[in-house]
Amino acid sequence: MHKCLVSLVLLLSLLTLCATVQAQDTFVDVTDVVGGVYHLPLANCPTQGLTYTRSTNSFGCVSGSSVPAPGSNTQVVFNDSGVLGADAGFTYVKATDTATLGALVLTTPLPATSGGTGFASFAVGDLLYANAATTLAKLADVAAGSYLRSGGVTTAPVWSTATLPNTATTGDVLYASASNVYSNLAAVAAGAYLRSGGVTTAPVWSTLALPNAATTGDVLYASASNVISALADVAAGSYLRSGGVASAPVWSTTTLPNSATTGDLLYASASNIYSNLADVATGSVLISGGVTTAPNWSTTPTVTSVTLTGSILLNNNVPINSKDNAAATQSLLSLTTSNNISLGYSGAATLFLIGGTSIDLYPGASANGRLTSTGLYLGGAVSATDILNVSGQAARIIGSARHTTAATAGNTLTLKAGGAVSGGSNLAGGNLILVPGVSTGSGTSLVNIQAYPGTAGATADNTAVTYLAVSSIGGVVTPAATQTIAAGNTIAADSCGGVKRITAAGAVSTDTTNPFTAPAAANTGCVMMLCNIGTTNAITLKRATLFFALAGADVVLLANSCIEVINDGTIWRQSTALLTAS
């Protein structure tokens, strides 16, 4: 059997079968695409079409009473409900292995793996994208202006949240005009620059225009309103100086040095050239080197005279020293009686006012002190006799400050009267007179002598105690506080020149070695009237190496009785008999 009949039932067979059936013949003519003619016996199908079943490799008759119309060359013949037919839109050309189908209708969408999409319908604007290795998905359209952006490797693309404008003009600049909305900022005249409009505000082109080119060293300056221009550089050393209001700046003709050391001074070393004059040791002054000559530092400047018509402002300690003048013909400051020198600011803040005969001190709004040839007066009236006079409106102290060195005792302050002329014969020195303030009526003024007894702890301050009060009736020694004596105690030598008061809670005896404070330089010459001011108990002063009693035995100091004792620097001695109250 010819091979073209085997492929008759296939849509894309290699042969196109065309059959012409004649009732009176016993053969069917089959013509293949190359023009060959084959005669097939019809046997029992003289008036019906011929079919071939490949599975059984047998021919049969087409049911029905009519003969199917054969197809033309290259048309595929197909069985349509038992009737063979052909269509010009369904062809196959073997030579080119090309099949043509006028329209193809699939009841199931063709999947992507077979070249299809897998979808039967779409919405307007849908985009296809691969959502997996073998499948496609649809990306729905969004509002106008969004652009398609990558979602990242192996991630679906997405429409942007931000929108872009649909048109643009040459020079436009994109900017965010609102949240997620880009707009066009139109270009403006050449030279403007883009500047921020502020937070959450659109940028703007500047009103100010900048130059489009510059040379190394150029400096920008406003050459007109809202116009910036370039000022060309000049030789090294020139500095930029103002050209005046509404005028362009200019480079100076004068040049400055490029470096300096602390203390350097600028000076003109040549025409239009400034140089550094190096600093020198403290105390030098700057003097002229002469016309057209550099200045220089000097430690011995010479000034013939200085005339002051204004003020001298001193901002620190300034020593003013007179040149050596053995003949006393030169004056440091020469004032006429009608001129003054004011140090400080005028008025309430003036510190010193130096006149022809005195120096007035102004710590406040008025003169509170004066220094003259006869004395210093601090708030007090000027006196012909006082060399130091202070204000009497409050208590005053003339004192020496405490020592500031660690573990160091205080220094001595001495008031010393004047001595007789050297070489004079039998001349007395001046007396030291301590005078209290003037009293009136029955009032009494005293001269008090105070001292600090050593009674406090090792580092605590002691309290000053008045030991001698001198009045019109004589000197009165202020007694120390009454000392209560216990068994074995030492009597303190704290009432020298006065009455030492003691008492006891019972009959007791003193220390057997030191009944009194041990003799020392500090208490040598001490004389005390020792009195037992108790009313009942006796106090026994033990005869000891450092206490010599008149009777050579212990001294029993009865209640309300006294004895006098003195310290000769080595031992305490009883100097009176026992004085007993009657």
Q: Could you tell me the fold of the domain covering 483-580?
A: Jelly Rolls (2.60.120)
Per-residue 3-state assignment (H helix, E strand, C coil) for 241-285: ECCCCCCCCEEEEEECCCCCCCCCEEEEEECCEEEEECCCCCCCE
484, 503 contact by CB (below 8 A):
yes
Q: Do residues 255 and 238 lie in contact, with contact meaning Cβ atoms separated by under 8 Å?
A: yes
The residues of the chain that CATH labels 2.60.120 are 483-580
Q: What is the 3-state secondary structure (H, E, C) of 39-76?
A: EEECCCCCCCCEEEECCCCEEEECCCCCCCCCCCCCEE
Q: What is the DSSP letter of 348?
A: G
| pLDDT tens track, the chain, 582 positions | 333 333 333 323 333 333 333 333 344 455 444 444 444 555 555 555 555 565 665 656 655 444 445 566 777 777 777 666 777 778 888 888 888 887 777 888 889 888 888 898 899 999 999 999 999 999 999 999 999 999 999 999 999 999 999 999 999 999 999 999 999 999 998 989 999 989 999 999 999 889 989 999 899 999 899 898 999 999 898 999 998 998 999 999 999 999 999 989 999 989 999 999 999 988 888 988 888 888 999 888 877 766 666 655 555 545 555 445 454 455 545 555 455 555 554 444 445 555 556 666 655 555 566 777 667 766 666 666 777 777 777 787 787 888 899 989 888 888 888 888 999 898 888 888 888 888 898 888 888 888 877 765 678 888 887 777 777 777 677 788 899 999 999 999 988 888 999 999 999 999 999 999 999 998 899 999 999 999 999 999 999 989 999 988 999 999 999 999 999 999 999 999 999 876
What is the b/e burial string over 263-286, where b = at least 16 CB atoms within 10 angstroms of the residue's CB? eeeeeeeeeeebebbeeeeeeeee
